Chain A
């Protein structure tokens, strides 16, 4: 609220300006061209696969590319993604995924991108050799009982398994280092590795527990690590459909994250996930305080200007443009591995919130104007409003004849009288039944007692 630097001031001016104009204002006035540090990757246009893939590194890059290839309709994009996956895999040692990708390519990219059996065999052989070597080293360390070496031995094993795609074994190896950790740094290293493998495996329960373990270390953590842990926690909450908690975690991620967590998540993702979850779950004050006025988060939002625009539109009640942005973003969001199965729910929640917020300040609303504002038909709008009213999210009644929505404020006095009379009746019934039952019990008890005597 007191952020007095220029960027927020211009935003605030825009918001006030939009308030004077009509409800369904064109979005053009609100897209100010701020200087962008990076090109917008998640945007309304078709996904630029190279740029997208450049954000990530390691295994997640390959997994994301495969996911992209599986889920997009455009065969050009599909082949592009698979090609990049192939190249990336050749640099690594994961023959399992390699075979999968080759199968998906199915020879469509020419002879250079076909099954390279010799390479596979060579990699597998090297892997066996390395594994034997690691094992013998580890055994040696174990007999010598040098804690640090044992820890490093298990760590190497973990890295080895991870590189070869044996995620379960990798996780087990990382967890085994726990007994040999001596400093907090070791513990943090173990937690981060465990978190990484758990996210790749999709077991987010482990993620939450290891994040809390890492946060509990007595030593103060350095900012990038804190940011990484918050991202991981946010992802775990997102998977568990706890959007409010996920939003809070993502919003707390500091700008120190930079590109240091590219094996898991990119800063653009932090902005997108955080922004959408916040919009779907926060109320108006929280949205203003934690998102719009949040200086740290603003840096992230700069990376995804469409998300920033849509949040601002929502806050300033430009629902049509907000929903338009959402619609544009949808196709690209469906290609993201973490958020694709939450997109529908989040969108529904955002839309409901928009409808509720629209009707909140008015005593009566013309449904035709509202339908225009939301770019839908009156009949469709009526159905949506009906379900919201039945769920008790809007206190209003629909005049279907004139197509007007009237706010309805409960008459407290009448409601109190009704409740009083009802409580009286219930008390009457309960006490009478109770007395009757007590009598029966006493009777039965007396009968039993008299039989004994």
Chain B
């Protein structure tokens, strides 16, 4: 107990300036084991520390307290304590011990899930993420935890706000896979299929040395979203996808590939029979909702094809071509598509005719010019970023070493820029 008391005094004393905090960190690291040994009795000591001033010390104590298994009685009290800590802690201090912070937050998530109130965890986790990130482009281990809570609590909009930011730095590949997978699911829930496709594409084409289950599940969803959004699926993964993925993914998602094939054939009856036959399979992957959306999207695809060929068409003809049951159904479909902005048309109910018009966008308005201008700016920044990164890597000694070693295998011209001393 004395050591704990002593530790407490040190914490209170050394938490004011940055250099003090650093020395405090060393002290805490040495005392870590003893703290863990006393984990069950540390709870009352927490009241003596102020989370906003003594964040680092509080963190160590808290981590030791929550290191044990989670139980329902302790869960509710801990949830309150951790939530308060997260909202009031100081970002710079906790960044000194990121893994401790992460483990505390993970415990928090487990407790919230145990209490079956994921909604309570969403806001604190969001604050935690913001405090842990060194910049908005940085992906932490907490990001996927946060998205998981959003998914379970069904508050997709909060999740979307995090997803808006571009990620360029990643700590652990596994974080990225989970983040993109959950992010994809959130976007699907919000019907932003384009963003979902982007995120799932990142998982599927990420460099990986062995196939993992996240990539497989992500690929299944990717196939379905690709069919809904684009109406087609590119049969091969791009060149930059890892070799492991290219070889194995398709064979692991066979029924989905079959679905894509029968979608491409365009016969709605075949598609529906196939879906019926494989209901349990899709259900066991929790993809039944998406599959149903795929089936309804085939009607849309066919109607869109008609806009390319016809100027006016009767509702009866539309119903026949797209294999709907009656002109009324055709009218409803077309109406829905007009409202969603997927086609431009007018319905003449008197004659039972639909008149397709061209996209009325004339690209002459100020908003459009502004939009184009902003896009150009954004792309230029991105391009600069790419150049900077390229330069950085070219100067990286590890890379140069590897390039120098590989010199014999390639043309002399390719590696002319690599200085001689790297020719190992």
Contacts from A to B (Cβ < 8 Å): 386, 389-390, 397-402, 406, 411, 413-414, 417, 420-421, 424, 427-429, 431-446, 449
Contact = CB atoms under 8 A, between A and B. Distances in A.
A437 B206 contact: yes
Interface of B: 166-171, 173, 176, 198, 201-202, 205-207, 209, 240, 305, 308-314, 317, 351, 353, 356, 358-359, 361-363, 368, 372, 375-376, 378-379, 382-383, 385-386, 389, 393, 398
A439 B363 contact: no
Nearest to B206: A440
A414 B364 CA distance: 10
Contact of A427 (B205, B314, B379): B379
A435 B173 contact: no
A390 B313 CA distance: 16
A435 B168 contact: yes
Contacts of A417: 363, 368
A386 B206 CA distance: 43
Contacts of B361: 414
Given A428-B382, A432-B382, 9 more contacts: A398-B310, A400-B314, A406-B311, A428-B375, A435-B168, A438-B393, A440-B173, A440-B207, A443-B170
Nearest to B166: A432
A400 B313 contact: yes
B253 to A, nearest CB: 21
Contacts of A402: 312
A449 B398 contact: yes
A431 B386 contact: yes
B363 A413 contact: yes
B322 to A, nearest CB: 14
B317 A436 contact: no
A389 B393 contact: no
Contacts of A401: 312-314, 351, 353
A431 B381 CA distance: 11
Nearest to A386: B309
A375 B227 CA distance: 41
Given A390-B305, A446-B398, A424 B379 contact: yes
A397 B356 CA distance: 10
A433 B205 contact: yes
Contacts of B385: 431, 435
A444 B110 CA distance: 29
Given A390-B308, A398-B310, A431 B383 contact: yes
A389 B309 contact: yes
B313 A443 contact: no
A429 B314 CA distance: 40
B398 A428 contact: no
B311 A397 contact: yes
13 contacts: A397-B309, A397-B311, A399-B310, A401-B351, A424-B375, A428-B375, A428-B378, A432-B382, A433-B205, A435-B385, A436-B167, A438-B389, A446-B398
Nearest to A406: B311
B308 to A, nearest CB: 7
B375 A421 contact: yes
Given A428-B379, A436-B202, A439-B168, A398 B207 contact: no
B201 A433 contact: yes
A186 to B, nearest CB: 49
Would you list the 6 A-B pairs with minimal beta carbon distance, nearest first?
A: A417-B363, A397-B311, A399-B311, A401-B312, A400-B313, A389-B309
Contacts of A414: 359, 361-363
Contacts of A413: 363
Contacts of A434: 240, 386
Nearest to A399: B311
Nearest to A405: B311
A397 B314 CA distance: 14
Contacts of B205: 433, 437
A442 B393 contact: yes
Contacts of B362: 414
B169 A439 contact: yes
A435 B389 contact: yes
A440 B170 contact: yes
A442 B168 CA distance: 12
A443 B313 CA distance: 57
A431 B359 contact: no
Interface centre among A400, A413, A431, A433 (most CB of B within 10 A): A400
A444 B310 contact: no
B117 to A, nearest CB: 34
A431 B309 contact: no
B301 to A, nearest CB: 13
Nearest to B353: A401
A111 to B, nearest CB: 59
A434 B387 CA distance: 12
Contacts of A438: 389, 393
A413 B359 CA distance: 13
Contact of B309 (A390, A441, A446): A390
Nearest to A431: B382
Contact of B173 (A431, A432, A443, A445): A443
Contacts of A411: 358
Contact of B207 (A389, A420, A431, A444): A444
B184 to A, nearest CB: 14
B135 to A, nearest CB: 13
A437 B240 contact: yes
Nearest to B362: A414
Contacts of B166: 432
Given A414-B363, A427-B379, A400 B386 contact: no
Nearest to A425: B375
B379 A421 contact: no
Nearest to B306: A386
A400 B356 CA distance: 11
A439 B310 contact: no
A431 B356 CA distance: 37
A401 B310 CA distance: 10
A420 B368 CA distance: 12
